[in-house]
Amino acid sequence: MSRPGVLLDRDGTIIVDHGYVGSVDRVEFIPGSIEAIAALNAAGIPVAVVTNQAGVARGYYDIDDVHQVHKHMIAELARKDAHVDVWLFCPYHPDGKIAAFARTSADRKPAPGMALAAAEALDLDLTSSWVVGDAECDIGLAAAVGAQPLYVGPPDTTRDGVRSFPDLAHAADYILTCRTVPTQPRDTPMRFPTHRFDSADAYGGAYVTELDRAVRSVDRAQLGRAAEILDNAYRDDRAVFACGNGGSASIANHLQCDHVKGVRNGTDLTTRVYSLSTNIETLSAIANDHGYERVFEYQLQSHARPGDVLVAISSSGGSPNIVRALEWASAKGMPTIALTGFDGGAARRLATASIHVNAHNYGIIEDAHQACMHLLAQYVRQSRMAADVVASQTF
């Protein structure tokens, strides 16, 4: 089982921030910080250091200097029976002067890379962990991974919704007092972004990291169930209908393309797949005469038969026309697949197979839905090929 841990900033939290501390002679421990780490160790709470070290990118010192500073800190901690379980640092900065390090990085706080690496190394549940630091990027890191931020610094500094302490010693006392933090329910979507980015490349790195997390949140058992529904439909010559609004409509249309044309390449499949989102004349006529909430249900009443399949795509999962279509399909004996995001809405509960993306950003959710649509098409396609033929095909 994953466990809570503490992610500590370095400069300004454990040692005095003299500005780009890149040599042993500039290391000055903040009073009480070593004892605070020792207390966390004694309580069995894993401790990781996650520190931005842009001084490497700016040419003030090199990677080996960072390691020497950490080696010195490790020795000083050990003198008082304290230790850090994992040391992580990010040497990159987009404005760096050293070419090898002059770039954005998903590891640079407030991006979540180092926290995710610490969680993997120490088996941490980040939503029940703490991030302790003296800068906005530390608070941003906590928000990015669902951890509880604790600010350390001048007592007159206040931040809405963030507990503040004068130093690490007081923050550690608080952690040891509560020992557990209120955790987000596992199904609570994580927000992105949580702060403003000053460059597109930095935003891009954080976006890719969040997209990776969102895709990993999908229940693979539900993907397997959806694949089985589609495979059975194609085997039995059943029709598959897809629908969605806005960006989800484009995914429904793309699904028709990939599940009709794509799956035929190198297989014996001739599927019958239709997007209910593609005919503007039909959509507008139904919406005008019967209401937009019936645009998909009305088409199903004309075209669908028991045993056919409905794939409903909705980021919110609550669009009335999506919910009505799912309800009608279920009542008529049609297996249903829902691709949802946010909290999943009614669509998540109604579907036979629920492919839910735990995210709170339309772009992230739609990108993840598109990936799921593609992988289902490709899975069905390759499953109809001889094992020795798959590697020779282009997917």
Q: Is the pLDDT of residue 98 over 80?
A: yes
pLDDT digits (tens, 9 = 90+) for 216-237: 889 999 999 999 999 999 999 9
Q: What pLDDT, on a 0 to 100 scale, did the predictor assign at position 347?
A: 94
Contacts of 386 (CB under 8 A, 6+ apart): none
What per-residue confidence (pLDDT) applies to 46?
95
Q: Which two tokens stand for residue 167?
A: 């130093």
Residues taking part in catalysis: 9, 11
Q: Tens digits of per-residue pLDDT, 362-386?
A: 999 999 999 999 999 999 999 888 8
Q: How far apart are CA 282 and CA 227, in angstroms?
A: 29
Instruction: Please give the DSSP secondary-structure letter assigned to residue 161.
Output: T
User: Which pLDDT belongs to residue 196?
Assistant: 77
**pLDDT band, residue 180 (cuts 50/70/90):** low
The answer to whether 298 and 286 have CB atoms below 8 angstroms apart is yes
Location of each CATH 3.40.50.1000 domain in the chain: 6-198
First to last CA, the chain: 37
Q: How far apart are CA 273 and CA 74, in angstroms?
A: 62
Q: Which helix (H) or strand (E) holds 101?
A: none
Question: If we measure between CA atoms, which residue out of 68, 2, 8 comes closest to residue 41?
Answer: 8
pLDDT for 320 beyond 50: yes
Contact status, residue 298 vs residue 274, Cβ threshold 8 Å: no
What pLDDT sits at residue 168?
Answer: 97
Residue 333: pLDDT above 80?
yes
Q: Is the pLDDT of residue 159 over 80?
A: no
Stretch among 159-163, 182-186, 309-313 having the lowest mean pLDDT: 182-186
Identify the DSSP state of 100.
Answer: G
Q: How far apart are CA 351 and CA 347, in angstroms?
A: 6
Q: What is the pLDDT of residue 166?
A: 93
Start-end of CATH 3.40.50.10490 domains in the chain: 217-382
Q: What is the pLDDT of residue 182?
A: 47
pTM above 0.95, yes or no: no
Amino acid making up residue 369: H
For residue 178, give the 3-state DSSP assignment: helix
What lies within 8 Å, CB to CB, of 123 at 6+ separation is 2, 3
3-state class percentages of the chain: helix first, strand second, coil last, to nearest 5 = 45, 15, 40
Q: What is the pLDDT of residue 157?
A: 59
Burial (CB < 10 A; 0-12, 13-18, 19+), residue 49, is buried
For the chain, give me the number of helices (H) and strands (E)?
15, 11
The 3-class secondary structure across 277-309, one letter per residue, is CCCHHHHHHHHHHHCHHHHHHHHHHHHCCCCCE
Check: CB of residue 340 under 8 Å from CB of residue 213. no
Give per-residue pLDDT as tens, 100-135: 999 999 899 999 999 999 998 998 989 889 999 999
From CA 89, how far away is CA 111, in angstroms rounded?
12
Give the per-residue pLDDT at 232.
93
CA 299/CA 274 separation, integer angstroms: 11
The single residue listed with the structure tokens 């002059």 is 102
- Summarize the confidence of residues 245-266 as an average pLDDT: 93
261-275: average pLDDT: 91
Name the average pLDDT for the chain.
Answer: 91
Residue 155's pLDDT band, with cuts at 50, 70 and 90, is confident
Residue 30's contacts (CB-CB under 8 Å, 6 or more residues apart) are 13, 14, 15, 16, 167, 168
Instruction: Produce one character per residue of 343-358: b if its CB has 16 or more CB atoms within 10 Å, e if not.
Output: bbbbbbebbbbbbbbb
Write out the CATH class of domain 217-382: alpha beta
The interaxial angle of helices 200-216 and 362-383, nearest 10 deg, is 50
**Interval 7-58: pLDDT, tens:** 999 999 999 999 999 999 999 999 999 999 999 999 999 999 999 999 999 9
Look-up: residue for tokens 């169930």? 225
Reported CATH class of domain 6-198: alpha beta
Q: What is the pLDDT of residue 28?
A: 97
Which pLDDT score, from 0 to 100, does residue 190 have?
66
Report the candidate in 102, 1, 87 with the shortest Cα–Cα distance to residue 56: 102
